[in-house]
Structure 1
Amino acid sequence: MNAPPPAHIFPETEQYCSLSYEERRFLKSVWAQYRFTFQEIKQLIDFASDVEMWNEGELSSLWNPDLIARNYPKLSGKPLRRKLIEGAEEVWERLRRGPKSYDSFTPPASSELGGKSIPIDAPHQGEILGTCPVASERTRCCNLETLDVVKQCGFACSYCSIQSFYDQGRVYFVDNLDEKLEELERRFIAERRSGETRLRHIGTGQSSDSLMWGNRNGLLEKLSGFAGRNPEIILELKTKSANTSWLEEHELPSNMLATWSLNPQTIIDAEEHLTSSLDDRLAAARRCADKGIAVGFHFHPIVHYDRWKQEYGNLFRRVQELFLPEEVVTISLGTLTFIRPVIRQLRRRKLRSKILQMPLSDAEGKQSYPFEIKRELFSYAYNSFSGAWKSGVFFYLCMEEIDLWEPVFGRSYSDNRAFEEDMKRSYRKKMDSIAYLKKASKMV
């Protein structure tokens, strides 16, 4: 066997060190045998890391470099190494692009998800009202404003980068929230006096889950009071939780909206760790709707896998069986979309997950499914709803390419501002209708 290259060029990366002992030994062996360069062996480490993360076995059992070398006896040096890399890449691509299955997938144990969240009360510096962190003119965006009253999330969804895991379990609660909300109200009052009042759609679920913390530090009570004193806002609570006890025990102002992210239980079990089950989320939404609270649903991210059509189809039917379109303000559709730093972040965590086992294409500067897959996912979702739902509920695509709107919905918007204004008009009209029906039912 040829003498190995100098040891210092072997990339002892974090990804390499997280591989199994057998896989590390295999990679060191082929590196020495075929004299792979630093970049070549690094590429093989990336392939091995992904295969292991996807719970598809090990690269060493799927790729046989010795067999490839025997099939090309006249090749040596760089041409042979290129052929070997191509063989490994073929294995990786086949797994990445093929219809992935969760049938034999083993979700990570609780001990692998990190410790308990550590709540920290800390003052917020500067403006508390922000804008959607992924807003862009390159995609059709609703220009959502965000109220980041809690930062970092105690759930452990494999596709998300706002988990407390990434900050040693710390979750930050704004302990000067009263002061910050008062500042915001003074600004709104000044706008009213100057005649510049406009309807605002504000979300609280962009930097953490809106309901998982309940009314800790009087959080929901303060938000409810803020919404009640400012009728020109629509305040949305977005959640994967079933923690609705405070909402059920108190009267919410009619301009507050509770929405749930929904996925089939297969995806919840495999990828949405520590979150409430699908049954519990739907039951919580049903309890809120029974109390006259406006509700909505986010099918986001829709994940493409071997049984996606059957399982999402069942989910869409359940929603229509459990709710009337008159009770539901909005339904959004979206899928997995990443910026490259987030992909690197998810890989570094080394949590067993099939989320990145997907074909990645450029989507207006981000990485996502190819256009045709997304069109199929979204069209199937939208067409699973009856005409009454399509005409009575505001459907939209979240953070998706502009060219998807027309083939999916048969409608589109000239720009983000037109989308924003249509959404807010629709929300306000529907929420006023829900409030009227609630009031009328109490008079009977």
Structure 2
Amino acid sequence: MRLRNTATRSIEPFAPLDPRNVRLYLCGPTVYDRAHLGNARNVIVFDVLFRLLRHDHGADAVTYVRNFTDVDDKIIARARETGRPIDSITRETTAWYLEDMDALGNLRPTHMPRATDHVAGMTAMIAELIARGHAYEAEGHVLFAVATYSDYGRLSGRSTDDMIAGARVEVAPYKRDAMDFVLWKPSADDEPGWDSPWGRGRPGWHIECSAMAKALLGTEFDIHGGGNDLLFPHHENEIAQSCCADPGTGFARHWLHNEMLLVEGRKMSKSLGNFFTVRDLLDRGVPGEVIRFVFLQTHYAKPMDWTDEKAREAEAILRKWRALSSPGGTPDAAVLDALRDDLNAPQALAELHRIAKAGDGATLRASAELLGLLTPALGGWTETGRDDAALVEAALAARAEARAAKDWTRADALRDALVAAGVVVTDGKGKGWEAGPGFDPAKLEGVA
């Protein structure tokens, strides 16, 4: 296998530290709201990697950790806005996140630690950094002294000026240097907090992942990933903390970052009206498997553009593939080669098209499952056993009869049912139709 490594800025052979225990860490969500569509990209990328490594090394030989940040200023702010207890918000949004990621066909990681369960490990790491001269206490805060780590900035390749601008550093009189970052901060009486040698407070964001990775994967492991928006300062800070707390270890040997998401060619933004969550798409009737397919059409190292047209095309392809696929096959060598070449999912999809064209349903399914496609868990949206065309045509015929009888109430109700089922009438006369986005003919059962 070859993987792009941000740390070396090259695609290089991947050899795990221990082939019997390949270890992965992915930065997970801060749980205060629904996951937006861009949040799903690195989960899908790492899910494909997880599946491939399990195929190559064995299902029990891969340990995958993805955390939940459940103590954070955004969560505190949401609790104040809503008047709800913090733990109620984090429990609810954690469940939402898992439900949405499951709907996209992602396997659950081996471990999904919550930051609040690892505060003791964080305080121990902070104490070690202070003892080694890499951190200092100031006005109830503990800060990491960036100047004590000579390799700071190597991962991102940024100059000090660029780093200061990129980090949006907080100006504070208690900092020795503008680049120093918070490991521990004091908590007000109405904020969550834990007792520590530095007073009641809570951890900074960056220390959380360092402590959880150490607890579950050790001081050195194989792959750490996330979106490229985390490259600096989050991942840069993780390296500094971890390598200084445990000198002589390398923390993550390989860094994998995915590019960002566009929507219809533009950056996703609430101000542009093109911001939406995974749940928004699912509730619109776009199947999770379709969302996943669209994501996999673009290599993870390139910006991905979500369009409704891509979703429609993906749905048509997946319907054909599911109708053709059958159990009992083994993955195609060319699909495996594509995925082992820096997770080249677009090339793997091209190979699946070739296999489908040849009519090899068993190989198609076994190969597609490496990408999390055509799995039984995601099959419910197409494998219905219904005569979908008959349901649609019966509803269209019933609407035509209602219109002829000038029963406009029934005609309108049937029209609304067809729209809700994702049926697109193609000739304006009700004689032709096609499956549109969110096509779900089950909604037409009993309406005609």
Q: Per the shorter chain, which TM-score range?
A: under 0.3
TM-score (structure 2 length as normaliser): 0.24
TM-score (structure 1 length as normaliser): 0.24
